[in-house]
Each structure stands twice: as C-alpha cells, then as structure tokens.
Amino acid sequence: MYKTCMKGAVAALIITMGGAGVALAADTDKAAGDSGKKHHVVFHVTDSDEKKWNQVLNNAGNLQKKVGKENVEIEVVANGPGLDMFKFESAVGNRMKEAVGNGVQLLACGATMKATNVTEKDLFPGVKVVPGGVIEIMEKQEAGWTYLKI
C-alpha cells in the first residue's frame, strides 16, 4: 500500500512539475518578445576590432529576429577608435548597410569626429552624428534603455 501511495504521489508531482515547466517556458517566451512591449537597446563600441563589430551587428540582428524588428529600437553608438568602423573603408561596411536597412540607428560621436578631423563625408551612408557619444548613451540610460558595452 505504501508503494502504491508513493507511486501516486510521485506521478502527481511529475504531472504538476511538468505543467509548471510548460507554464514557465511560455512565460519566458512571452517575456522574450511576445509581450508587445517595445524594447530599447543601445550598444556602445569604443574599439575598431572587426570581430567586436561583427559581434555587435550579430547581436543586433539576432535581437531583432527574437523579439521582432517592430518590438525593439536599437542604436549603435561609436566613439574613440570605434568611430573607424563607421568610415567608408570599414571592414564591416556591408553589414552596416544591412543593419541600417533593418532599422538599426548607427550614431557617430561628433566630439571624436572633431578631435580626429573626420567629417560626415568620411562616414558610411546612414551613419548619423550626435554631439557626443557618451552624452547619447547617458541620455538613453536615463530614459530606461538597456546599455550593452561591446
């Protein structure tokens, strides 16, 4: 009798836990992008390393795929040496074109541009200039955006 009761209790526990697991998985999926919530993410890049830039562009694209382009606003802010990848001769130029086409905002630090004698004519089409990269990031964080440093 004891074994029969234990088997029943274990079976009930498994069924209960299985249902909770399904509910938890559904909640996780909903939180990841099905909630209809608009997400806001700002990537900060201060490096001209091609691998890091590919990582940023991969992350932005994957984020849009997971939560839906219409559910996320993404900015990539570059200052310091990171600004080099926004130039015409950039190794990731084709990827930037794709990102801009998908609605990712590429923002160059105007202060870095001034300090390095870079003009808007030197930048890849679609890159916009903000007065200061760190000011842009500060304002986005104050507005509740998620900050990701690459």
Question: What is the percent of the chain where pLDDT is above 90?
Answer: 69
Q: Which residue's entry shows tokens 């559904």?
A: 26
Give CATH for domain 36-149.
3.40.1260.10
Q: What is the pLDDT of residues 100-113, one digit of tens each?
A: 999 999 999 999 99
Rounded to two decimals, the pTM is: 0.76
Collapsed DSSP state (helix, strand, coil) of residue 118: coil
Domain ranges of the chain: 1-35, 36-149
Has residue 4 got a pLDDT over 70?
no
CB neighbours (10 Å) of residue 54?
14
- pLDDT tier for residue 90 given thresholds of 50, 70 and 90: confident
Has residue 49 got a pLDDT over 70?
yes
Among 126, 51, 103, smallest CA distance to 82 is for 51
